[in-house]
Amino acid sequence: MSAPDIKRVLTDRDHVRLTKLAEARSFAPLPAPVLEPLHDLLTDAHLVPSCEVGKDIVTANSQLLVRLPGSARPSQLALCYPNDVELAKGFVSVLSPMGLALLGISVGQTAQ
C-alpha cells in the first residue's frame, strides 16, 4: 500500500475493471491480502476520466522505472491486468502487492 498521506488517483476505466475483478469471486476468488487493499483503493481513490488523467499518474498499462529498497539500479516494469502477466518481461499484475502499491500514485512518490 502507499503511504497513508498520499491521495491516489484512479481512472474511471481502471476503477470499473478493478471493481469487476473484485466482484468476480465465484469465478476466481481473490485472497484477503489482495481484496482488502483493492477495496481500500477502490473506495478511497480520487476518480478521473481516463482521457484527463495526468501523465505522472501510474495507471494500468503504465510503464515505469522503480527503485526497490537496497537496489542501486531501477527496474523497468509495466502494470497490467492478470491475464497479461509476464514476470520475465516485467509485466506485473495490478493485483500483485507491488501493483496495488503503485497504482494511482504520482511519479516520484514512494510506495510501500
Give tens-digit pLDDT for 64-106: 999 888 888 998 999 999 999 999 999 999 999 999 999 999 9
Q: Is residue 69 part of a domain?
A: yes
**Phi, psi at 11, each rounded to 5°:** -75, 155
How many domains does one find in the chain?
1
Q: Is residue 4 part of a domain?
A: no
Q: Is residue 73 part of a domain?
A: yes
Alpha-carbon distances of 53 from 4, 28, 64, 94, rounded to whole Å: 21, 30, 16, 17
Q: Is residue 110 part of a domain?
A: no
Task: Please give the residue range of the domain that contains residue 64.
Answer: 9-102
Model confidence, pTM: 0.83
Q: Is residue 112 part of a domain?
A: no
- pLDDT per residue as tens digits for the range 13-32: 999 999 988 887 545 567 77
Q: Is residue 111 part of a domain?
A: no
CATH number of the CATH domain containing 15: 3.10.50
Give the helix/strand (H/E) hosting 19.
helix 12-23
